[in-house]
Structure 1
Amino acid sequence: MSYLVLARKWRPKSFEEVVGQQHVLRALINGLDQNRLHHAFLFSGTRGVGKTTLARIFAKSLNCEQGVSSTPCGVCQSCTEVDSGRFVDLIEVDAASRTKVDDTRELLDNVQYAPSQGRYKVYLIDEVHMLSTSSFNALLKTLEEPPPHVKFLFATTDPQKLPVTILSRCLQFNLRRLELTQISDHLRYLLEQETIKAEPEALEQLARAADGSMRDALSLLDQAIAFGGGEVTSESVFQMLGSISQDQLILILDALLKQDGKALLAQSAELAALGRDFHVVFDFLLSALQQIATLQLVPDLEPVEANSPQLTELAAQFDPETIQLLYQIALHGKRDLSWAADPKSGFDMTLMRMLSFQPTTPPEVGDEPLKKSPPPRKPVVSSPPASEAMTTKSVSVSTSPAVKQALIEPDIAPKPQIKPDVIAANEPEPIDNTLISVDLSPANWTQIIAELKLSALAHQLAENSALVKCEQQSVYLSLSPELGHLATDNSKQKLQKALSKKLGQDLKLVFADADTTFETGPTLAVERAEQQAVKQQQAIESIHNDPTVEIIKNTFNARIIEHSIKPID
């Protein structure tokens, strides 16, 4: 006896054996049990999700000798003949090979005759969207007023190509792509019945390669059994699919974290030596980056991948912005892979791009990084009085070369530590002695915040925070209660780091209610909102005062819709 492939051997013969598609099964089962049967059904979905399988089970349920029900007996003559494809009243047509109108007319000539053996004459037309326009026109009249003993079952992978006149006369069921767990669990069950050993990771890779299609998964399983000599192992599946193992994927991500270019190229060379398909490698890398990003933003999500512990650890070490950047680079690298000199060089270039565009590690405290100084003070750039000129001259002679350089190039040199007596000679005493320095005050708070380079939540937190007071090295900020969700640990840490770098001092941010002794300063968001409101009012007034607009209003009896007016920057 010839070998029967798994996709045919394990084809479901009842609704209970169908994997997934519960939204379709519920409607079909209730319709059969309650005898509420439409004359035309359309099953749509991608390949291998069960369109024709459901249609055959439905036809068997209609013609079972035990009666119409959702649970055909499976042993009567009608049921066995439907399962074997020999039931005379089940007419299966491949529309892809019979697209002409003459084929459709020949098919419909026998519609008027009663079924030979069963209760209903069932027409199962696969890939119905391949019919010509003339064929659809010929089918339309019969579909609109069919004989009571006829049922039409249509299957298609592209329902958009069907005329609306056909769609409106059918009950439409859209079959969904199967999930990874549904496919892998079903493969595990089949292998247990076949008494074939299989590794869980291998089944997961087969399920992923099937891309939502159970038939593709069973075909790949047949191939994996033959490739592995009667067993399904991870190594044989990786070789067969040209994919990458989870250990290799973790090594690549770890090398990206450590910015180790040598290790990355070594992993790429190993993948090439193993004959891996770099298009598939890109898919696995994109999937891993997506999972890391999900773990970072939704940490309470239940893990669904076998390598979740490693990914969870990487998610804690990678910066979220870096993961988003790496994902985008990998996406572009996969798109441009066909244009590279060869797949390996294209993959290597993508890895090098990931290293080049990653944010560099900030310098240590002892490395004296260059800080941007605040705008130069008036005594430095203006002509001081004679007494002040003498003071300035004496300072320039006695100060160190580093301070001289800071006075000449304030934008690039490190900020000098000016003595208190020099400050007293050059500018008046600050009114508020609690401020850390003249670089931070309620007056220039919004300007300093606008110059910080922040992103995401930290950017919104900075724009909506108001300066309350400064004591020693602590900066007290206030935030509206409705915006409290912005003050996460990560966003506060980034704002504190950026502000400390801007002012050249180690600061500590404290979010608290405004102190009654101090007046809460403005926020950048409020200032921008006020500026926008002023611009909006000016734009409305300019429209109302425009003589041309006045002429149009009088000529056409028109009116101005103020909310449609937008200021032009």
Structure 2
Amino acid sequence: MDEPESPGLGLDLPEVPQKAAASPYRVLARKYRPQNFSELIGQDAMVQTLANAIARGRIAHAFLLTGVRGVGKTSTARLVAKALNCVGPDGQGGPTIAPCGVCEQCKAIAEGRHIDVIEMDAASHTGVDDVREIIDAVRYASVNARYKIYIIDEVHMLSKSAFNALLKTLEEPPEHVKFLFATTEVDKVPLTVLSRTQRFDLKRIPAEKLAAHFADVSEAEGVEVEEDALRMIARAAEGSARDGLSILDQAIAHGGGTVTAEQVRDMLGLADRGRIRRLLEHALAGDAASTLLDLDEAHDLGMDPSALLRGLMEELHFATRTKAGAAAEGLPAEQRDAAERLADQLGWGQIHRVWQMLLKGLADVQIAPDPREAAMMALLRLIHAADLPDPAAVLSRLSGEAAAAPVAPSASSKLTGPTAQLPSDFPALIALLEKNGKHQIAVQLHDQVGLVRFAPPELVLRPTRPLGGDWPRDLGAALKAATGAPWQVSLSDEAGEPSLLDQEKMAEERVRSEVLADPAVRAAFEAFPDATLESFASTKGA
């Protein structure tokens, strides 16, 4: 007798459906990492340079990508690896700025499994032994790619000995090897390494481009996000796509499918902006009672005094930009209106005075035993200084009164010393400094700066070489000592006149050209081919 067949063996039973394994959630910053150069936002200049280099076959052997966090340094390095190793859908393509994304090379690089594209985190591989492994490996040809590519992230973390070990290989690598370095602190990378690489500075992504990118991501995710909310997230990201996508991820989870500006404001702690603006308005109006009440409420809500003062400074900064005609991009409507009101209310002298007092107050808060008390004292100083007249107006008024009331000459008026008589032009100013013993500053003014604006007591200069951060202050002090009047000295990148030294050289060259063009001089040179025209400086008094 045949044994009964056991169930499921040899019978055409319907298959029991297996529950599909849920795919793990990928955060937006990883899910929307750019897969080609067209998706890399805000770095058009770098993409254009790479495209031209690839098209002309002028591909450097080492690239250094630098910029703040989240602007796309590592993503760009992977895209460059794709561009150099892509073979196209038919396997016959060459390096291209538009990698196909479907060939085995592109897919393997995108998935992080390409045997010839080696990524190394310098933060955890800092030693010379780690670099020696690279040096030993570069001698061998790539396995199946056009180039063997080494991507070293946070390269500034390598030790000094590791950098030194890498120098020779970096200067003369084999033809099949390319190096791609990424760093957020390029000033820590030795100059010997920088000189051997082609450097790309990735810029902060503008807020408007970030907002547009986040809108596209939100649409792809099927989430409705208000336009003001997108602008807030873009501003909070501070030019970083990764930071902004992380904030957007959090906002979507916070909002449960829809994201409003109010939700983002609460999530980022921006709801206190209105409180900070009211506090600043009360302080500038001289209302001590309301100011202290606002400060107590902020303390009860858990606001840090340092954060409170920084918020006041940020509001003042927005107002300053608005007053200068360069309002910050992407501000919410209420913040933009508040900045315009504050800009109309404050004069330039008052803005600078309030800024300095807030800056001093912030420093006091950071070192005080009780930060809350230090913040209160800083605001009280601001209140009592808010209605003080502008020092320039006081000086002007006093000068006018002095001119209207002549004083009989006295013995003291015959004493030598600085006077309020201002020089008539820039060369006269230099001569005055020279006369008062300020020889070094006079030489620097003559040789190393170009004049942008001369409107005593204002002086705007364009340096032709570094002069040091304290130089404008030192010059202002020297001018005040020489003229008796306070000067406003500033450095600018605006186009200005050449330095006086360069003007003298150009004048001498002009005269020299005129002399050489003279028929008699030309005839003399034809008669005496070895003759030379001596410099005018050397022939003076001859």
TM-score (ref. length: structure 1): 0.62
Contact 1:41 1:152 in 2 (8 A): yes
CA deviations on 1:464-499 (whole Å, 9 max, x unpaired) are xxxxxxxxxxxxxxxxxxxxxxxxxxxxxxx6x995
Report the Cα distance in structure 2 between the residues aligned to 1:271 and 1:567, rounded to whole angstroms: 49
Report the Cα distance in structure 2 between the residues aligned to 1:540 and 1:248, rounded to whole angstroms: 55
- Who is 2:277 aligned against? 250
- Who is 1:489 aligned against? none
- Who is 1:305 aligned against? 331
Report the Cα distance in structure 1 between the residues aligned to 2:34 and 2:54, rounded to whole angstroms: 18
Report the Cα distance in structure 1 between the residues aligned to 2:265 and 2:373, rounded to whole angstroms: 21
Report the Cα distance in structure 1 between the residues aligned to 2:83 and 2:349, rounded to whole angstroms: 55
**Selected match of 1:133 from 152, 157, 160:** 160
**Selected match of 2:44 from 22, 28, 32:** 22
Number of positions where the alignment pairs a residue of Structure 1 with one of Structure 2 = 397
- Who is 2:530 aligned against? none
Amino acid at match of 2:338: Q
CA drift of 1:68 comes to: 1.0
- Who is 1:36 aligned against? 58
- Who is 2:343 aligned against? 315
Amino acid at match of 2:339: L
Report the Cα distance in structure 1 between the residues aligned to 2:148 and 2:305, rounded to whole angstroms: 51
- Who is 1:58 aligned against? 80
Alignment of 1:91-490 (within 5 A): 91-296=118-323, 298-299=324-325, 305-306=331-332, 307-360=335-388, 455=392
Alignment of 1:533-544 (within 5 A): none
Amino acid at match of 2:114: F
Contact 2:86 2:105 in 1 (8 A): yes
- Who is 2:116 aligned against? 89
Contact 1:64 1:79 in 2 (8 A): yes
Report the Cα distance in structure 2 between the residues aligned to 1:96 and 1:354, rounded to whole angstroms: 46
Q: Does 2:21 align with 1:3?
A: no
CA drift of 1:242 comes to: 3.4
TM-score (ref. length: structure 2): 0.65
Amino acid at match of 1:323: I
TM-aligned CA distance change 1:501 to 1:179, over 3 Å:
farther
Report the Cα distance in structure 1 between the residues aligned to 2:72 and 2:436, rounded to whole angstroms: 65
Q: How much is the aligned-residue C-alpha RMSD, in angstroms?
A: 3.7
TM-aligned CA distance change 1:527 to 1:31, over 3 Å:
closer
Report the Cα distance in structure 2 between the residues aligned to 1:498 and 1:203, rounded to whole angstroms: 54
CA deviations on 1:87-133 (whole Å, 9 max, x unpaired) are 11110011111122222112222212221122111110111122223
Report the Cα distance in structure 2 between the residues aligned to 1:342 and 1:228, rounded to whole angstroms: 38
Amino acid at match of 1:223: Q
TM-aligned CA distance change 1:337 to 1:191, over 3 Å:
farther
TM-aligned CA distance change 1:152 to 1:101, over 3 Å:
same
Report the Cα distance in structure 1 between the residues aligned to 2:274 and 2:198, rounded to whole angstroms: 48
Contact 2:225 2:258 in 1 (8 A): yes
CA deviations on 1:298-341 (whole Å, 9 max, x unpaired) are 34868753332332122212233222222122222223323345
Report the Cα distance in structure 2 between the residues aligned to 1:239 and 1:341, rounded to whole angstroms: 30
Contact 2:46 2:202 in 1 (8 A): yes
Identity %: 41
TM-aligned CA distance change 1:189 to 1:95, over 3 Å:
same
- Who is 1:72 aligned against? 99
Report the Cα distance in structure 2 between the residues aligned to 1:29 and 1:308, rounded to whole angstroms: 40
Contact 1:242 1:276 in 2 (8 A): no
Contact 2:276 2:312 in 1 (8 A): yes
SS in 2 for 1:189: helix
Amino acid at match of 1:146: P
Report the Cα distance in structure 2 between the residues aligned to 1:301 and 1:525, rounded to whole angstroms: 41
CA drift of 1:9 comes to: 0.5
Contact 2:318 2:328 in 1 (8 A): no
Report the Cα distance in structure 2 between the residues aligned to 1:200 and 1:351, rounded to whole angstroms: 35
Amino acid at match of 2:392: S
CA drift of 1:541 comes to: 13
TM-aligned CA distance change 1:224 to 1:350, over 3 Å:
farther
Amino acid at match of 2:51: I
Q: Which runs of 5+ in 2 are unaligned?
A: 1-22, 89-93, 406-417, 438-477, 485-542
SS in 2 for 1:75: coil
Amino acid at match of 1:183: L
CA drift of 1:135 comes to: 1.9
Amino acid at match of 1:242: G
CA drift of 1:29 comes to: 1.8
